[in-house]
């Protein structure tokens, strides 16, 4: 899963903005540090939204570029991408955490932990959750 990052050069620094995540921005001192600074800002913004109980925006495939902006795509860590997909899928179906827990034959606190940043997920439990949401999971590994 990737989010678009807009990069603008301003007075010997690189300004970074995320059109899908309002208010998420950062700057980088050098071109070599753009991805690291951008990824740290994006991850922090998305995790904060999850912790507040919000449903973060999904990444768009197309982004409008203005002026001298350049677009870079940033990949999310697998754990965070999985938590976001779980939250979006639950929202799409209009399910509460308790509803999903009932579908899985478990308790609501487990679903809350699955969606909480910083909590390591058991793959078997995640598979059960996605199956209860009617989703198939597939992974693709690339170099």
CATH topology of domain 78-132: 434 Repressor (Amino-terminal Domain) (1.10.260)
Pick the CATH number of 2-75 from 3.30.420.10, 3.50.50.60, 3.40.50.150, 3.30.160.250: 3.30.160.250
Structure tokens at 25: 């921005």
Give me the pLDDT at residue 66, please: 82
Q: Report the mean per-residue pLDDT for the chain.
A: 92
Q: At what angle do helices 97-104 and 108-115 cross, to 10 degrees?
A: 110
**How long, in residues, is the chain?**
143
- pTM flag (> 0.75): yes
The predicted structure's pLDDT at residue 32: 93
Rounded (10°) CA dihedral 76, 82, 86, 92: 50
Note the pLDDT tens digit of each residue in 65-110: 888 889 999 999 999 999 999 999 999 999 999 999 999 999 999 9
22, exposed or middle or buried, with CB in 10 Å at 0-12, 13-18, 19+?
A: exposed
| Sequence ranges of the domains in the chain | 2-75, 78-132
Q: Which residues pair with 3 in a beta bridge?
A: 74
- The sign of the torsion formed by the CA atoms of 19, 24, 89, 136 equals positive
Structure token digits, residue 107: 């308790």
What is the pLDDT, as a whole number, of residue 60? 87
**If you average pLDDT over residues 112-118, what whole number do you get?**
92
């Amino acid at each position: 899963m990737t989010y678009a990052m807009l990069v603008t050069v301003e007075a010997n620094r690189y300004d970074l903005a995320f059109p899908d995540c309002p208010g998420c921005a950062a700057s980088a001192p050098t071109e070599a540090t753009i991805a690291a600074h951008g990824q740290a800002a994006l991850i922090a913004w998305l995790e904060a939204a999850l912790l507040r109980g919000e449903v973060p925006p999904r990444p768009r495939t197309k982004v409008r570029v203005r002026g001298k902006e350049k677009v870079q795509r940033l990949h999310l860590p697998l754990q965070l991408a999985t938590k976001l997909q779980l939250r979006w899928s639950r929202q799409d179906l209009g399910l509460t955490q308790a509803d999903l827990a009932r579908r899985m034959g478990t308790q609501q606190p487990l679903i809350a932990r699955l969606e909480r940043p910083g909590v390591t997920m058991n793959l078997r439990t995640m598979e059960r959750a996605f199956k209860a949401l009617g989703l198939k999971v597939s992974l693709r590994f690339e170099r």
